[in-house]
């Protein structure tokens, strides 16, 4: 395929950025860039932390593949800038991105739609004291999870086993975000399910079951070790994978997401009930990332996945009322 025939024009792969996930974003972006170029796309790297976004317009880029993760990339800010410049971009629009980056707001939407998610307590910086922190285990039980409300890649996440661990976990999370999410711990299988497409045309890819060392799927085990197991086919009991895919599709649609995404789920070992944890609207595309792994299990190569995502690039005002671009 020649550059002229690719149909995508001049493409910027946005990578790096200013979030705590910069390192992972650079890894994702380099992979996407190589994949697009291998398929004849006129793709160029673009790091918003080093260049003014206005250069995208001045240099006449036709569309953007967003490989940014976290703040200033996955939270609606870059999406808003691209909307103003009229440059189509991959993934969810402004509102869906800004809602989805906030784990608490996401939970509130899901709960309003009667979708299952673990119970939680929100602690706002400056709005809680030690007494309130130590009361959280009484409400949620132990162990419990503490994490920043608006970070990804398990950055700042801690599993608290006893009262003595609460203060330190909350303090660590509060360094990364003004809001700290304390969440009921669900013991059981940890799975994730990617989604491709928009509206009624959105489809769930195969579910991946994650088996991390000692059940600790943290930043290190997520990206920099080879001891975490990713099982696809997931090996869940008959019917469970399909039920999770259906739940994930509904969760994706009610948030108004489009293009692609990935939703993490915990399955209660005792009841086998699935609980929605969070959604990623700009998922990782590294060698350890889960969307490419799931797509491969469905017969879609990394390169074709990148092309599919890029092909769906759009602007909010281009999306039809039914949710399909």
Catalytic residue among 22, 92, 262, 314: 262
Q: Tell me, yes or no, if 223 is annotated catalytic.
A: yes
264 is catalytic: yes
**Distance from C-alpha of 325 to C-alpha of 323, rounded to nearest angstrom:** 7
278 is catalytic: yes
Please confirm, yes or no, whether 280 is among the known catalytic residues.
yes
Whether 221 sits among the annotated catalytic residues: the reply is no
Radius of gyration of the chain (CA): 19
Catalytic residue among 19, 100, 221, 280: 280
- Give the integer Cα–Cα distance in Å for 185 and 169: 14
Q: Which residues contact 123 (CB under 8 A, 6 or more apart)?
A: 132, 133, 136, 170, 174, 179, 180, 181, 182
Residue among 19, 153, 282, 294 flagged as catalytic: 153
Q: Which of 91, 93, 284, 316 is catalytic?
A: 284
The one catalytic residue among 151, 177, 183, 264: 264
Give the active site residue among 102, 151, 278, 316. 278
Which residues are the active-site residues?
21, 153, 223, 262, 264, 278, 280, 284
């Amino acid at each position: 395929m020649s550059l002229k025939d690719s149909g995508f024009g001049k493409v910027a792969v946005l990578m790096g950025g200013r979030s705590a996930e910069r390192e992972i974003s650079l890894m994702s972006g380099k992979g996407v860039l190589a994949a697009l170029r291998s398929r004849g796309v006129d793709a160029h790297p673009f790091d918003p932390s080093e260049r003014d976004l206005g250069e995208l317009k001045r240099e006449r880029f036709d569309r953007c593949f967003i490989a940014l993760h976290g703040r200033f990339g996955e939270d609606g800010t870059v999406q808003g800038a691209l909307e103003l410049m009229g440059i189509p971009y991959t993934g969810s629009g402004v509102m869906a991105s800004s809602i989805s980056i906030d784990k608490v707001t996401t939970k509130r939407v899901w709960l309003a739609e009667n979708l299952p998610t673990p119970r939680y307590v929100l602690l706002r910086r400056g709005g809680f004291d030690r007494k309130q922190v130590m009361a959280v285990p009484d409400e949620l039980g132990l162990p419990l999870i503490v994490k920043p409300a608006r970070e990804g890649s398990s950055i700042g996440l801690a599993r608290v086993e006893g009262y003595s661990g609460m203060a330190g976990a909350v303090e660590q999370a509060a360094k990364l975000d003004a809001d700290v999410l304390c969440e009921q711990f669900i013991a059981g299988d940890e799975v994730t399910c990617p989604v491709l497409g928009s509206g009624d045309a959105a489809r769930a890819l195969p579910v991946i079951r994650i088996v991390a060392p000692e059940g600790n799927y943290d930043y290190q085990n997520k990206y920099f070790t080879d001891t975490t197991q990713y099982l696809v086919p997931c090996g869940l009991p008959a019917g469970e994978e399909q039920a999770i895919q259906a739940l994930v599709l509904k969760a994706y649609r009610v948030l108004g997401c489009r293009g692609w995404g990935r939703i993490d789920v915990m399955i209660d070992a005792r009841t086998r009930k699935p609980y929605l944890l969070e959604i990623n609207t700009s998922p990782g595309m590294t060698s350890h990332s889960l969307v490419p792994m799931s797509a491969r299990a469905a017969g879609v190569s990394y390169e074709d996945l990148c092309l599919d995502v890029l092909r769906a690039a759009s602007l909010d005002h281009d999306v039809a009322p039914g949710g399909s671009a």
